[in-house]
Amino acid sequence: MEWVRGETIGFGTFSTVSTATKSRNSGDFPALIAVKSTGSYGAASLSNEKSVLDSLRDCPEIIRCYGEDSTVENGEEMHNLFLEYASRGSLARYMKKLGGEGLPESTVRRYTGSVLRGLRHIHAKGFAHCDIKLGNILLFNDGSVKIADFGLAMRVHGDLTALRKSEEIRGTPLYMAPESVNDNEYGSAADVWALGCAVVEMLSGKTAWSVKEGSHFMSLLIRIGVGDELPKIPEMLSEEGKDFLSKCFVKDQAKRWTAEMLLNHSFVAIDLEDDHREDFVVKVKEEDKVLMSPKCPFEFDDWDSFTLDSNPSLDSPVERLGSLVSGSIPDWSVGESWVSVR
Ligand SMILES: Nc1ncnc2c1ncn2[C@@H]1O[C@H](COP(=O)(O)OP(=O)(O)OP(=O)(O)O)[C@@H](O)[C@H]1O
């Protein structure tokens, strides 16, 4: 396909996302698409994303992939992935514009149902997304949402059970499931835990774990992995909503509900007529139509996704967390509450 790069609409750890238009009528692509581009450092992640999206095609709740190519820009080889364009950007960006306010419960129910249908498809095809968060749920003009960013997605071995003995720690700390923190396990159950965190954030406008500004991310991982504390379920939520979240926030992943089970929960099994899609359209102000959706590295809730080699021989959670704090892993940098891996 011949195409022309447009405005930058987002930044990820490995990539820049921009709009793109076809320069000629080629293929069955929409005129306006998103292109996710990376240099050689992110090529493996982009190629993983492409192969996962190819396996997951034809699910309305998952962002479509139209192919890939490579270009040379400013002397650098760029790898490009062509994606369906979500004109409203991510839910994280939308929530930020609401300035700490939550969304109406009816809207959250609908978004949650959509993400669950996407997750059911991902899990049924034998994958785990591994990075469900508001930044990876994209919003369209008609008020629908789709799951994006499959750069960390993995094939799950066995019958939808979590991966064991994975050799890396991956994900976004605020959304990490206890088994991922403690045992390096990533699977469909961890996606459900992360969905619960996303639901709390949509409802309250605040992250599911309250964390003091400037505190070290390791203290959060210890709260998630060790002890009985659970993310705080918003008080004002309906009893159905509270019950739904209690099925997501089960520390024992074997007892946590699956996406398939949650789809039958009354919180999401609602008639679409109960929802107010038009509210969404009214709420979006003119200035929200700006295409840019940059990530701010200095706000706590933008703690980034990461992958990091860890020592798989450490069995106890305390040992494992201790090894992460000890500085034996030199690649971490933590500044202004922002975690990154180089
Ligand atoms: N198809 C799309 N349409 C519109 N905006 C998009 C699209 N894909 C990504 N974006 C925007 O770009 C941002 C970064 O994209 P994405 O999360 O896929 O990149 P990444 O490098 O994998 O990031 P991360 O660091 O979260 O892993 C998103 O949060 C979103 O704002």
Per-residue confidence (pLDDT) for residue 278, from 0 to 100: 43
As a whole number of angstroms, the distance between CA 97 and CA 248 comes to 27
**Phi, psi (5° rounding) for residue 325?**
-75, -30
- Catalytic-residue membership of 131: yes
Answer yes or no: is the ipTM higher than 0.90: yes
Pocket test for ligand 1, best of 5, 13, 14, 36 (most atoms within 8 A of CB): 36
Q: Which residue has a Cα nearest atom 8 of ligand 1?
A: 17
Closest of 142, 17, 12, 141 to residue 81, by C-alpha = 17
C-alpha of residue 111 to centroid of ligand 1, in Å = 18
74, burial (CB in 10 Å: exposed 0-12, middle 13-18, buried 19+): exposed
Ligand 1 centroid to residue 142 C-alpha, Å: 19
State how far the alpha carbon of 185 is from the alpha carbons of 48, 168, 202, 209, 225, in Å: 19, 10, 26, 20, 12
Give residue-wise pLDDT tens across range 122-145. 999 999 999 999 999 999 999 999
Q: Give residues with Cβ within 8 angstroms of 220, minimum separation 6.
A: 173, 174, 209, 211
For residue 84, how many C-alpha atoms fall within 13 Å in the half-sphere facing its CB?
22
Instruction: Check if the beta carbon of residue 192 is closer than 8 Å to that of residue 168.
Output: no
Asked if 1-81 and 87-262 have one fold, the answer is no
The residue whose CA has the least distance to atom 20 of ligand 1 is 12
Q: What is the pTM of this model?
A: 0.82
5, 7, 9: residue to mutate for ligand 1 pocket, most atoms within 8 A of CB: 9
Tell me if 46 sits within 8 A of 54, measured CB to CB. no
Higher-pLDDT residue of 275, 258: 258
17: which 2 tokens?
């996302």
Judge: domain 1-81, CATH 3.40.50.2000.
Answer: no
* 184: confidence class by pLDDT, cuts 50, 70, 90: confident
Q: Which CATH class is domain 87-262?
A: mainly alpha
**Every domain of the chain and the residues it spans:** 1-81, 87-262
Sign of CA dihedral 56, 59, 63, 64: positive
Residue 15 CA, ligand 1 centroid: distance in Å: 8
Looking at residue 1, what is its pLDDT?
A: 75
Q: Is the CB of 93 under 6 A from ligand 1?
A: yes
**From the CA of 11, how far away is ligand 1's center (Å)?**
6
**What are the helix (H) ranges across the chain?**
43-55, 91-97, 105-124, 178-183, 188-204, 217-225, 239-248, 259-262, 277-283, 317-325
**pLDDT tens profile 197-227:** 999 999 999 999 998 888 888 899 999 999 8
Ligand 1 atom, smallest distance to 85 CA: 3
State percent of the chain over pLDDT 70.
Answer: 74
| Per-residue confidence band for 166, with pLDDT thresholds at 50, 70 and 90 | very low
Query: For residue 289, is pLDDT > 60?
Result: no
4-16 pLDDT per residue, tens: 999 999 988 889 9
Q: Which of 37-46, 162-171, 248-257 has the lowest mean pLDDT?
A: 162-171
- Reported confidence tier of residue 23, pLDDT bands at 50, 70, 90: confident
Name beta bridge partners: 78. Answer: 71
Question: Does residue 300 register a pLDDT over 50?
Answer: no
- Ligand 1 near 138 CB (within 6 A): yes
| pLDDT, mean of residues 137-165 | 81
